[in-house]
Amino acid sequence: MLELYKQQTKCLVALDSIIFGFDGEELKLLLVKRGVQTDRDTWSLMGGWLKPAESLDQAADRILFELTNLTGVFLEQLGAFGDPNRDPVERTVAIAYYALVNVKDYETKISDTYHAHWFSMHDLPELLFDHAEMIKMAIERLRYKAAFHPIGFELMPDTFTIPQIQNLYEAIYGSNFDKRNFSRKILSTGLLIKLKEKQKGFSKKGAFLYKLDTEKYKIHSDSFLNFVPNPDGML
């Protein structure tokens, strides 16, 4: 049996993180400058290597923290990418994860060491290897899950207005929602707690602020709530 193992070709395992952020208006992606060999000016997803004593999830958490100082964020495995020619240096299988953060909450925590930069999803640069394919799969997964599960709140600040949530989901889907239908659907989930305070500086009346009921969110985060009404012209 040991001889059988020795005969196999060794393969590197990389972990890449598609880190989505929301700044209140746009859905964004966190990228870093790749500083190796001929790819010095190529932008890349944040990533690293699996260590022998780690599970994939442990490695993903460690790498995300080492590169961004972020902890406790939504992080989910997306899939494996194993084209033999995806990395010209050495045979490497990549396990992709996607993460959801609020840009304004975390932008001050991200280290300058790796020249990280938030890019609009509408203006992404040329990317390394098959990272564009990973991003395409990640946005498809995000759109699917956000339609049925309340994971969009992972991209929001602690307090928010209904119009701000609508801005988020319109950014995710690249489409518009009917305001009344969206508000009714969001409030019907029972996941929001209405606060006495109003958002200041945007209108004379102001919009009421809400916060997430974290206990209900824990219970329903994986439930099929049919969370978002269909955006106009989609689905």
CATH at residue 81? 3.90.79.10
Tell me, what's the pLDDT at 82? 95
Banded pLDDT at 81 (limits 50, 70, 90)? very high
**pLDDT at position 164 over 70:** yes
Same domain, 29 and 138: yes
- Please compute the mean of the pLDDT values over residues 195-213 and round it to a whole number: 80
Is there a domain that residue 2 lies in? no
Same domain, 155 and 142: no
Tell me, what's the pLDDT at 108? 63
Same domain, 109 and 37: yes
Of 11, 12, 22, the residue nearest 169 (C-alpha): 22
Same domain, 135 and 162: no
Q: Which of 147, 170, 191 is the last residue of a domain?
A: 147
User: Could you tell me the two tokens for 72?
Assistant: 């406790």
Residue corresponding to tokens 């319109």: 170
- Name the more confident of 56 and 102: 56
Is there a domain that residue 40 lies in? yes
What is the rounded (10 degree) CA torsion for 189, 190, 195, 198?
20
**pLDDT at position 185 over 70:** yes
Same domain, 175 and 103: no
Q: Which of 125, 147, 169 is the last residue of a domain?
A: 147
DSSP of 85-134: TSSSSS-EEEEEEEEEEEHHHHTTTS-TTTT-EEEETTS---BSTTHHHH
Same domain, 142 and 190: no
The burial of 204, by beta-carbon neighbours within 10 Å (0-12 exposed, 13-18 middle, 19 or more buried), is given as exposed
User: Could you tell me the two tokens for 161?
Assistant: 């207005």
Same domain, 25 and 117: yes
How many structural domains are present in the chain? 2
- Please compute the mean of the pLDDT values over residues 84-99 and round it to a whole number: 95
pTM (global) more than 0.95: no
Q: Which of 116, 147, 178 is the last residue of a domain?
A: 147
List the beta bridge partners of residue 205.
none
Of the listed ranges 32-36, 74-78, 80-84, 181-185, the one predicted with least confidence? 32-36
**pLDDT at position 234 over 60:** no
Taking residue 189's Cβ as centre, other Cβ atoms within 10 Å add up to 17
Domain that holds residue 22: 13-147
Contact between 124 and 29 (Cβ < 8 Å): yes
